[in-house]
Structure 1
């Protein structure tokens, strides 16, 4: 563990392999921390999804709407990429100790929604630590081993954690939180068909809504427009092809439903801030919790 002015922290990073990314969800980091009285995780967004479990103590948590609540032991909260949040030290019988896992992939949000997490309900309490902590500790041990072979152990551990969370959420009554089934269904529809040239009206029709109403409620729940979500899916897949294959720009464009290399390159430049040709020259960056 490393001593910082506001916390004592242990962190392990993982760079997912192409094999792991085939599964639609993969871990990027894990760790644990003991907060000091000065600890405050200021208002910020993170690039990955995260699940943070409060093993002891208490934290003040402020969601993206500015609503504050006091979290106590056996509470877990989720963080969604691009959504602002903050949390800080709270007085309790013991200092706050948290364990976390960060992860990415198009199945991340549907799985979180299935458990009961959402932007409106980022914090869920009542978890059985005797069943949950062993999963967290197993991931810490594997991450700390620094094993870099191209295998699925990391993904399977993450899936095992989600399986346990789903089982407990069913017992606690959190599974399929109200008013999120249409959102999860529309996201799964986009995750499956984004490369087939679907448009927002197609997704809205699938959800049983008008285009304007669907766009409004999706944006309220997800924090970004459905158009931006589709664009993100296509750009992530494009980046994968650029880094992991020798596909030409035209082949990539047609694969993710752009009519030609020019329109794809322009969209890529607008999204990432640099052209596709540079993507093949740029090394991947590590993830952090």
Structure 2
């Protein structure tokens, strides 16, 4: 007489952490000084293969060398202060709401051997002619890079409280982006975070180095810059998307922030 054994299985409902990969590149930059640029929207990673330079980002100055990994998030101001030699680096841009932005103090770090290998494979797959191999290879290599980064940028126990502070502000920024609340006021930010004005201001300054409203303005302008460069929206549509009642208000604030009107980017994009 046979007996039937019933096994219960826990079903997993795991979504892919990467929504899409915007691009994978290998750049070569000749010696330069005082060059100001802006990073791409969402997450951006660089691995320097050869050459060195001074980098200014988030009010910090870094000496970048071969093997340095640089992380950017959500269109940041970047300045190459000086490079006396040609710099070669890999770059990958991707969108993920699952992956938490790295804290400001962990944006530049030394790659381990497996990370360097994963970047090399990532670029190799990006120029592969077989679309299936290309897609699977890019995602698997990127996930390997992110797993490495998680290991050697993990937060020590002594910094857990500091990390919780960053989490609070990061959750506010995430809500602003997902709900498109780019014209939010300070009292609304307090409601989002369930914190008092004084507490929220302190948390934001510790996490970003800026006041809440200044940070929101930076986020809004970064979003505008990204949309102008990488979307198919026109200036009127971008203005409406960001919550401006009139297009000239958007144009005025954009020019005040960047030093030039949004039409300059739009005209260049349209050729």
TM tier, shorter chain? 0.5 to 0.7
Does 1:265 find its partner at 2:251?
yes
Match of 2:47 in 1: 30
| Number of residue equivalences | 205
1:157 alignment partner in structure 2: 141
- Distance of 2:169 and 2:48 partners within structure 1: 33
Give the direction of change, closer, same or farther, for the CA distance of 1:182–1:259 in structure 2 (3 Å limit): farther
Q: 2 CA distance for matches of 1:157 and 1:252?
A: 34
Deviation at 1:139, TM superposition (A): 0.5
Tell me, what secondary structure is at the counterpart of 2:102? helix
How far apart are the structure 2 equivalents of 1:228 and 1:282? 28
Note the 1:101-180 alignment, pairs <5 A: 101-106=69-74, 110-113=100-103, 118-119=104-105, 132-143=112-123, 147=127, 157-167=141-151, 173=156, 177-180=160-163
Q: Distance in 2 between matches of 1:224 and 1:167?
A: 28
Match of 1:241 among 223, 227, 245: 227
Q: Is the 8 A contact 1:242 1:276 kept in 2?
A: yes
Name stretches of at least 5 consecutive residues in structure 1 with no aligned partner.
1-10, 15-20, 36-40, 46-80, 89-96, 284-289
Q: Secondary structure at the residue paired with 1:193?
A: helix
Q: Structure 1 residue 183: deviation in Å? A: 2.2
Structure with the bigger RCO (C-alpha within 8 Å, sep 6+) is 1
| 5+ long unaligned stretches in structure 2 | 1-24, 29-39, 75-95
Does structure 1 conserve the Cα–Cα contact (< 8 Å) formed by 2:228 and 2:265?
yes
Q: What is residue 198 of structure 1 aligned with on the other side?
A: 184
User: Shift of residue 279 of structure 1?
Assistant: 0.9
Query: How much has 1:265 moved relative to structure 2?
Result: 0.7
Distance between the aligned counterparts of 2:173 and 2:73, measured in 1? 13
- Which residue is equivalent to 1:222? 208
Separation in structure 2 between the aligned mates of residue 254 and residue 144 of structure 1, nearest angstrom: 40
Q: What TM-score, normalized to structure 1? A: 0.55
CA distance in 2: counterparts of 1:87 and 1:169, whole angstroms: 18
**Structure (1 or 2) with the larger CA radius of gyration:** 2
Deviation at 1:277, TM superposition (A): 0.8
User: Cα distance, 1:266 vs. partner?
Assistant: 0.8
Q: Which has the higher helix share?
A: 2
Distance 2:61 2:159 in 1: 23
Describe the superposition over 1:235-266 as per-residue Cα deviations: whole angstroms up to 9, x where unpaired. 22222322334433232112112222111111
1:77 is aligned to none
Q: Is the 8 A contact 2:244 2:250 kept in 1?
A: yes
Q: CA deviation at 1:100?
A: 2.0
